[in-house]
Amino acid sequence: MNAVTVSPQFQIVIPQEVRDQVHLEAGQQMQVIAYNGRIELIPLQSPVHLRGFLKGIDTSVPREADRP
């Protein structure tokens, strides 16, 4: 388990192991969410990096009768 200490300016350092796992880079933006008493940091990705991540998804889903 990785533990961090909150500085007097409310800053933390993300451990190297975690940065490597999620491929964080210096200057990268993150979304901060408070959820069920915890803080989640979600790396933001540009739309270019998201291109093709749904490749091969099955789009044949049953539709409601009033939908084309």
| Predicted TM-score (pTM) of this structure | 0.60
Predicted pLDDT at 9: 97
Report the Cα–Cα distance between both ends of the chain, in Å, rounded. 50
Q: Taking residues 13-27, what's their average pLDDT?
A: 91
> How far, in Å, CA of 13 to CA of 6, rounded?
8
pLDDT digits (tens, 9 = 90+) for 25-63: 899 999 999 999 999 999 887 778 778 888 888 888 888
Predicted pLDDT at 11: 94
Would you say residue 10 has pLDDT above 90?
yes
What is the phi-psi region of residue 17: left when phi exceeds 0, alpha when psi lies from -120 to 50, beta otherwise?
A: alpha
Which of 28, 6, 25 is closest to 16 using CA atoms? 25
